[in-house]
Amino acid sequence: MTKNLRVKTSKFIDETYKVSFKFNGTTYYGYKGDTLASALLANDIHLVGRSFKYHRPRGIMTAGSEEPNAIVQLHNNTSRTEPNVRATEIEIYEGLEASSQNCWPSVNFDIGGINNFLSPVLPAGFYYKTFMWPASFWEKYEYFIRKSAGLGKSPTVPDPDIYEHKYIHCDVLVVGAGISGIIAAKTAAKNGFKTLLLDEKSYLGGSTIYQNSENFKISNQISSSWLEKEINEIKKIENLEIKTRTSVAAFHGYNFLLARENLTDHLPLDQRKNKTRHRLLKIRAKKVIMATGSLERPLIFDNNDRPGILLSSAIEKYANLFGVACGERNVLFTNNDSAYETAISLFQKGINIEAIVDNREEIDSKLIKETEKNNIKVYKGYTVVDTTGYKRINKISIMQLSKDGQKVMGSKVSITCDCLGISGGWTPAVHLFTQSGGKLKFRDEDQVFIPDKYPSDQISIGSCNGDFTLNEILSSIPNKLKDFLNIKKTDYENLEVYSSFNKSKRNIWLLPSDKLIGKTKPFVDYQNDATAKDIKLALREGFRSIEHVKRYTTTGMGTDQGKLGNMHALGIISETAGSKMGELGTTTFRPPYTPLTFGTIVGRNVGEYFDIFRKTPIHDWHVKNKAKFENVGQWKRAWYYPKDGEDMHEAVQRESKAARDSAGILDASTLGKIDIQGTDASEFLNRVYTNAWSKLAIGKCRYGLMLNEDGMVYDDGVTTRLDENHYIMTTTTGGAATVLGKLEDYLQTEWPELDVYLTSVTDHYATVSVCGPNSKKIVSQVIPDLDFSDENFPHMSFKNAKIGKIKCRVMRISFTGEHSYEINVQANYGKSVWEKCIEAGKEFNITPYGTETMHLLRAEKGFIIVGQDTDATMTPIDLQMDWIVSKKKYDFIGKRSLYRSDTIKEDRKQLVGLLTENPDDVLEEGAQIVADMNKSPVEMLGHVTSSYYSPNLKKSIALGVVRGGKNMMGQKLIIPMENKQINVTVADPVFLDKENKRLNA
């Protein structure tokens, strides 16, 4: 039977809407508006999980995203399971199922808890020290280390939720909707700035919105009432967009920020269908106002981690916002006035406070006086030295502090309690500011890091800037906003502010104990179980840099990134090493501020939208005819067309035989096509290709090789002269965009004097390539008006033609070595032309073939594929294509590099043909080529670049690059494979029809 610790109605909780949820298999009830943490606390449950290393029982410690302990697994063993969810952030909904992590068999009885008793032999660096030897045991250690690593369980099935990205551009982005953020957003929006206000909570107003004390007033109104009116006003401003449940994850350079908008995590599962769960906002802001607030610091003393120990501000929030008492016998331990605010709130709600332990001796503020007036016992100048209670705190021991705060004295006093609130002052939340490249400075008087140098157009206001009291906030913000937004006035000048808060603080990073430190467990990083003792050990072992101490002790390396304890770690290092905090610096705050789901990062780039792809205008025909596709660049290209259960090899053999024997048809629409016009078009081609173009007659086509500046082959293709000053260039499929970009770059930067214009027409044309001895008969049926005689239409020429009333261009060019025609027609007529060719070719058994057969056919002819037979280290000479390099031209891209000492060496890798001793052995592409297997080490001469079994030649053929291969014709070489060696002979790379008889057949 659990207790009900709901104490008083809260307007933030809908008590008419009861919500049932399960925690560790047991059903509990809460109300709409509760977080899992507030609902558990209302049911008097503090024990939520076990710590990472020692498996110590841990409870809810905070009420926000800084929570280190209360992290749970949601919906275990389902597709929606999620580990490491902070109970303090997740809002409950009907059907929520949460369970504890890092414990077995249960959170109440955890076998791993034995680690707590072994802790004396598990110091910082235990793993590093222990698992170094013997080296051969590593694999055995690794198994156990991996098994015990991590906290929750990853999902094992696909995520059913939808995630999206969204780009937002605003004039002013305000991060944080506390009192400072609300003031800033309203001021910016009312002055005409397109403003975006974000807050990670489900409500606006930060901690002020539930501050119901007469001790804090603005314009003679209780601060929360004043702020509520402001919030109601900003909701009506048109150019102000407000997003709650939205956490800024990263603040990059130039005011580019990433935020996660949580859209459905608070809804029951059955209401989430087809809705976006998380949205990653990619925000470009002209100006950024950081109003991220501050985080309350814990206090570091022995056994400061027990369930029932919470931050004092969290206890206040649970009482005021959720109407929940965290305990029935509460004690507060503080070094500043904040705990008294909590005490007054609890008192107002009728929640019992046993005592307040304050480490300050001389304290005088209105808040303390009011507390004492309420008969709450205050122990001044005392510190907590120990706590007891394994799964829930039941007692604390306190002792008096010495004047210097380094020792305790006097006798121990025990106080029975079931909840201890601790308050060590406040740390400005500067994480995002530093992510943006901002530099911090250390303020000695209250031991805080605050923003100093801004790297972009941004400011920090409110408590994230070190202005902690209501007075400070409201007196500083108006002037800051006026300067930053360049405006003359704000609505917030000369406000009457009343605040009872006294800023005095007695900061002691590690509180003294009556025991030796080695006998204590003062936790600094709660999630990773790093104690002050571990930090001191790291310093004794020689670590000095904060970054090294962090990694050695794992302080600040949990999912909470040490939001609570990092400052204490710095303080303890500084005190122990005798260095100044300001000089020590901080560890690097890295994005994300709070963990993001992978879905948020990926967005809709999953499944069919994982990558973009392109289809040719004939794509649907290929699908209908059961083509298999391969990805070429971004294109889906027909790879082969299996028939009657054929595998790829069988299909390719059939397709290539048909293309040589009668007719084949290929969809070549993917080739890049660049329209080149201008009076200097011929000169331009002379400069970009290695061969000469000036004398190419109108109506003729020519193959060209394009080099990079380093003389290496970059792209190739056929270019056709359509008119005196008009060419169309084809490029490789994958190279189209980069070639166009490179050529445009040359025209704009190197050769602005040339009168040349480039326009991509790759997508404008569908290209149907018909090849084979019967190709002429087929295309002449499709285009009856065109004279296809060899005299009128010889190889490497082009004709304008019409099919019906549709204009098209026909090129007689060949990549197969066969008599071939390419019909280029406007894309939307492409499928129709293809179908007409198929129809006309029926009597000739016209066979559609894909890229695999195309590769085989061209390899038989020794035609290269740039990117397959070349790899940016091959010159035209290496490819045995000396014939295409003009010796007469003054210049072309890469010319100079062809005459460097390295590129004219005789023993460069050169393209050769390879014939296997056994004609049935097909080499593996990429296989190494060697001459002498007995040489040690074996010298690699090159590798196989293309390899096929040719049904036309009835033998295996291959192309490869071999060091000095040009002079090795007829020489025997070896291809060493896994289980055998294949003997090959170096041959001419042209295997079929060297005389080009078939082209003109």
Interface residue list for another protein (CB under 8 A): 162, 164-169, 194, 274-276, 282, 284, 604, 608-609, 612-617, 635, 675, 677-679, 725-726, 755, 757, 759-765, 803-807, 825-833, 835-836
Whose Cβ is closer to another protein: residue 394's or residue 677's?
677
What per-residue string of b and e applies to 111-150 under the rule 16 or more CB within 10 Å gives b? Answer: ebbebbeebeebbbbeeeeeeeeeeeeeeeeeeeeeeeee
- Distance, in Å, from the CA atom of 99 to the CA atom of 26, rounded to the nearest integer, reads 10
Greatest extent of the chain over all pairs of C-alpha atoms, in Å: 117
Whose Cβ is closer to another protein: residue 65's or residue 762's?
762
> How many residues are listed for the chain in this entry?
1001
Candidates 325, 305, 327, 309; CA nearest to 317 is 325
In the complex, minimum distance from the CB of residue 194 to another protein, in angstroms, rounded to a whole number: 7
> What is the DSSP-derived secondary structure letter of residue 756?
-
Candidates 923, 905, 915; CA nearest to 963 is 905
Strand residue runs (E) in 418-473: 419-423, 426-428, 439-443, 448-453, 458-460
Helices 546-553, 566-577: axis angle to 10 degrees equals 120
| 836 three-class SS | helix
CB contact at 8 A, 115 and 103: no
Candidates 747, 725, 744, 739; CA nearest to 680 is 725
Whose Cβ is closer to another protein: residue 307's or residue 848's?
848
In the complex, minimum distance from the CB of residue 245 to another protein, in angstroms, rounded to a whole number: 17
In the complex, minimum distance from the CB of residue 744 to another protein, in angstroms, rounded to a whole number: 10
Candidates 185, 291, 201, 198; CA nearest to 240 is 185
In the complex, minimum distance from the CB of residue 756 to another protein, in angstroms, rounded to a whole number: 9
Whose Cβ is closer to another protein: residue 404's or residue 724's?
724
Whose Cβ is closer to another protein: residue 114's or residue 806's?
806
CB contact at 8 A, 45 and 39: no
Q: Which residues contact 127 (CB under 8 A, 6 or more apart)?
A: 145
Strands 497-499 and 806-812: unpaired
φ and ψ of 642, to 5 deg: -65, 140
For the chain, helix (H) and strand (E) counts, in that order, are 23, 50
- Distance, in Å, from the CA atom of 111 to the CA atom of 545, rounded to the nearest integer, reads 36
In the complex, minimum distance from the CB of residue 153 to another protein, in angstroms, rounded to a whole number: 30
Region class of 447: left (phi > 0), else alpha (psi between -120 and 50), else beta = left
In the complex, minimum distance from the CB of residue 832 to another protein, in angstroms, rounded to a whole number: 4
In the complex, minimum distance from the CB of residue 824 to another protein, in angstroms, rounded to a whole number: 11
CB contact at 8 A, 970 and 986: yes
Whose Cβ is closer to another protein: residue 807's or residue 842's?
807
- Distance, in Å, from the CA atom of 458 to the CA atom of 497, rounded to the nearest integer, reads 27
Whose Cβ is closer to another protein: residue 105's or residue 607's?
607
Whose Cβ is closer to another protein: residue 311's or residue 786's?
786
Whose Cβ is closer to another protein: residue 450's or residue 808's?
808
DSSP output for 116-174: HHTGGG--TTHHHHHTTSSGGGHHHHHHHHHHH--SS----S----EEEEEEEEEEEEE
In the complex, minimum distance from the CB of residue 804 to another protein, in angstroms, rounded to a whole number: 5
> What is the DSSP-derived secondary structure letter of residue 204?
S
- Distance, in Å, from the CA atom of 223 to the CA atom of 499, rounded to the nearest integer, reads 10
- Distance, in Å, from the CA atom of 14 to the CA atom of 321, rounded to the nearest integer, reads 11
- Apex CA 277: angle with CA 271 and CA 283, to 5°? 145
Whose Cβ is closer to another protein: residue 703's or residue 757's?
757
In the complex, minimum distance from the CB of residue 615 to another protein, in angstroms, rounded to a whole number: 6
Q: Which residues contact 914 (CB under 8 A, 6 or more apart)?
A: 923, 929, 944, 947, 957, 958, 959, 960, 973, 975, 984, 985, 986, 987
- Distance, in Å, from the CA atom of 778 to the CA atom of 659, rounded to the nearest integer, reads 13
Whose Cβ is closer to another protein: residue 481's or residue 833's?
833
Tokens of 16: 């008419």
Whose Cβ is closer to another protein: residue 180's or residue 824's?
824
In the complex, minimum distance from the CB of residue 767 to another protein, in angstroms, rounded to a whole number: 12
Strands 353-358 and 330-334: parallel
Whose Cβ is closer to another protein: residue 127's or residue 610's?
610
Whose Cβ is closer to another protein: residue 134's or residue 158's?
158
Whose Cβ is closer to another protein: residue 596's or residue 987's?
596
Whose Cβ is closer to another protein: residue 171's or residue 710's?
171
Whose Cβ is closer to another protein: residue 425's or residue 603's?
603
Candidates 435, 423, 458, 533; CA nearest to 172 is 458
Tokens of 88: 């303090």
Q: Is 372 exposed, middle or buried (0-12, 13-18, 19+ CB in 10 A)?
A: middle
In the complex, minimum distance from the CB of residue 685 to another protein, in angstroms, rounded to a whole number: 15
Whose Cβ is closer to another protein: residue 165's or residue 395's?
165
| Residue 730 identity (one-letter amino acid) | T
CB contact at 8 A, 852 and 652: yes
